Amino acid sequence: MILYFAPLACSLASRIALYEADIPAAFQEVVLSTKQLKAGGDYLPINAKGQVPALALDDGQVITEGPAVLQFIADQAPDSGLAPPAGSLARTELQGWLNMLASELHSNFVAFMHPASPPAAKDFARMRITPRLDLLEQHLAGRETLMDGFTVADAYLVTILGWSEHCQFDLAQWPALAAYRARMRARPAVARALGEELALRAAA
């Protein structure tokens, strides 16, 4: 497998999931501004959307869209607990979390990161993000993880929370979320993935 990623982008969640599942993979960095591979070559023939993550399987098939990639990785290691069994109610709950994170949080954070985003877009995004952070704050008060045990939804949320200060969301306002982020970052797989991508970002 090859994970196509950009340092500290949403693809970090897929790297975390691979490390949590102990699945060997290769990693190819994508320069998102040019849609070129850092190692050379065009990315668009691999993923026409030009976005990360994409996961290329050994038979050449490519999976795109973070929530799909995350669940595929989890399903390769069913004993990892990264996702409940397909078809279970708990799996539906996981999909609910992944969808909420993708559509309500991740996509709104883009307004703070895209260079062409006007101030009004940031204001609108803040109005959409703040109540979701409030909801997560309530949910995570007194809980270790989003569901019972670490799942790929936690890999996704800890990735998104890594953008918060850069996007002018000071987590001091959401103490349970701040504690959750610190707890997740202390997990060996998360610390390894984050450390590697921070080093890549620093070297860029």
Ligand X SMILES: N[C@@H](CCC(=O)N[C@@H](CS)C(=O)NCC(=O)O)C(=O)O
Site size for ligand X (CB under 6 A)? 11
Provide, rounded to whole angstroms, the least separation between the CB of residue 35 and ligand X: 8
Q: Does 71 help bind ligand X (rule: CB under 6 A)?
A: no
DSSP-assigned states of every residue in the chain: -EEEE-TTSTTHHHHHHHHHHT---EEEEEETTTTEETTSSBSTTT-TT--S-EEE-TTS-EEESHHHHHHHHHHHSGGG-SSPPTTSHHHHHHHHHHHHIIIIIIHHHHHHH-TT--HHHHHHHHHHHHHHHHHHHHHHTT-SSSBSB--HHHHHHHHHHTTTTTTT--GGGSHHHHHHHHHHHTSHHHHHHHHHHHHHHHH-
Of the listed pieces 6-14, 75-83, 172-180, 182-190, which binds ligand X according to CB under 6 A?
6-14
Q: Which is nearer to ligand X, 10 or 158 (CB)?
A: 10
Q: Is residue 50 near ligand X by the rule CB under 6 A? A: yes
- Site for ligand X, residues 73 to 102, rule: CB under 6 A: 102
* 105 near ligand X (CB under 6 A): no
> Is residue 62 close enough to count as binding ligand X by CB under 6 A?
no
Query: Residue 107 or 138: which CB sits closer to ligand X?
Result: 107
Of 32, 57, 86, 182, which lies in the binding site for ligand X, with binding defined by CB under 6 A?
Answer: 32
**48 is an interface residue for ligand X by CB under 6 A:** no
Is position 10 an interface residue for ligand X (rule: CB under 6 A)? yes
Chain residues binding ligand X by CB under 6 A are 6, 9-10, 32, 50-53, 65-66, 102
